[in-house]
Structure 1
């Protein structure tokens, strides 16, 4: 894939995904987090602190070369995506909680992701390098995420019935766009993928599985309900691969296909690992039918 095409395609694809998230959001979703104090605190702590620490530990343990190490940290710092809500719906998680967490994580990541990426570039590649997320690039990340979400929320507020009808088609379109985006990324760097797959496949799988497990077990240890823990698991375990791929490959951002490689591989394998984990979570739910009784709040209507 040429750099010119990537410059247009990746931000556009990410915009479609973020628009889909926006169509499902209202201002009340940001207020709803106050109804989930325990699980929200656990999720944010895992997402913002624990996962980058785990990613760093895996990078050091596997002694990844610098650019792949930065790519893993970029992946670890990325927020949850719209796919989390889809899997949460399929496996009876609290979808309303996913919506709220995605909204909050997407905003917070705009501040934490550039910091983690820049520290990783300085630590692994070298502080004298010109790559990284400078201020103007951080502003671009803001625009890539917030503008489409804001447009989706505005459409939802002004044209509620239309937004409700479009929410499902846009989610399907988002999934298609994600698939096309990953295929496009693979086609452009297939030689690099084949050359580096052996270096990163194990660490990517481990990171994905550990994230899913922590997302479920950490809330359960604090007696959060099963449905809320399932939502937390998918929110923490399914990162926003399109965002990470866009930051890594876009000529306007990092412009480094190697740094995007972990996210490309992750964006492919997460669909299968999430489905497997969902089946395990469903079995755990049958063993704990009173899970909602352990939650710190009642599930939102229609969740």
Structure 2
């Protein structure tokens, strides 16, 4: 698992890189309000809410830290697929994923070390060391850059590889979840109800905040759908790798393992719910100043 987990994550992030171009980073300047609102929700609001949920349910310290690692993880590539299925702004999703993955190099260690300091799950271990964190995120960012270079040099190959890499990404998640569950079956069994409850509540709250808060700021419905999936579907594979590779604790990865299974079903139900609101929100469907075109109308 020591080699397999980072390798699996590298494959997942390479697949993400195949879908990115430099324009995706520059595009954030064209929708600054949507990006800022999404990042504030992702980096500040959700970790705070997760901290409150952990305290309310009084999870064991190791599981509490595991939830905070999950909350600090950026959105996963699955958010782009769900945004496409439920008529979100996929370009915004891709840009947010790109920016979030870079920012997580700083924010994830900070939030994780706070959780380790507060809950003290290990008596004989220091916090998340920056050198080790940088090593893991090299596994995250270097494959993304390689994927982007492949797309730039061989775009047709990148398009053909998109579906196979997505399939491999799902298989990687299934394998790491299965391994985490098998290694900590007793701990999972004794805390399953609390873990299922907190991961379901956290996922639904994340999805809801990602949709409602942008709408409060008069951000278009398609963009709000995108942000809901972006901050509501955390990168469970990354959280598991951080738990097991950086913090050397399989038990700490259990919240991400449970979440990684449940989020697909919850996000699907949420997607049908918000897509069903399309008629009610039609008048405010697009950001102020955007002009409708026949193509836009056909795609709504």
**1:133/1:293 CA distance change after superposition, 3 Å:** same
Q: 1:285 aligns with which of 250, 255, 278?
A: 278
Q: CA deviation at 1:111?
A: 0.4
Q: CA deviation at 1:258?
A: 1.9
Distance (Å, rounded) in 1 between the aligned partners of 2:179 and 2:125: 26
Contact 2:62 2:121 in 1 (8 A): no
SS of the aligned residue for 2:127 comes to coil
Q: 1:20 aligns with which of 6, 11, 15?
A: 15
**1:12/1:291 CA distance change after superposition, 3 Å:** farther
Distance (Å, rounded) in 1 between the aligned partners of 2:143 and 2:200: 30
Between stretches 206-215 and 254-263, larger displacement belongs to: 254-263
SS of the aligned residue for 2:276 comes to helix
Q: 2:44 aligns with which of 42, 45, 49?
A: 49
Q: 2:78 aligns with which of 83, 86, 97?
A: 83
1:248 match = 243
Alignment RMSD (CA, Å) = 2.0
Q: 1:260 aligns with which of 247, 253, 256?
A: 253
Q: 1:232 aligns with which of 209, 227, 240?
A: 227
Contact 2:54 2:64 in 1 (8 A): yes
1:195 match = 190
Between stretches 174-183 and 123-132, larger displacement belongs to: 123-132
Q: CA deviation at 1:195?
A: 2.1
Q: 1:156 aligns with which of 151, 156, 179?
A: 151
How many residue pairs were aligned? 295
Segments of 5+ residues of structure 1 without an aligned counterpart are: 1-5
Distance (Å, rounded) in 1 between the aligned partners of 2:154 and 2:291: 29
Q: TM-score, length-normalised on structure 2?
A: 0.93
1:66 match = 61
2:265 match = 272
Segments of 5+ residues of structure 2 without an aligned counterpart are: none
SS of the aligned residue for 2:260 comes to helix
1:3 match = none
Equivalence map 1:101-250=2 (5 Å): 101-125=96-120, 129-250=124-245
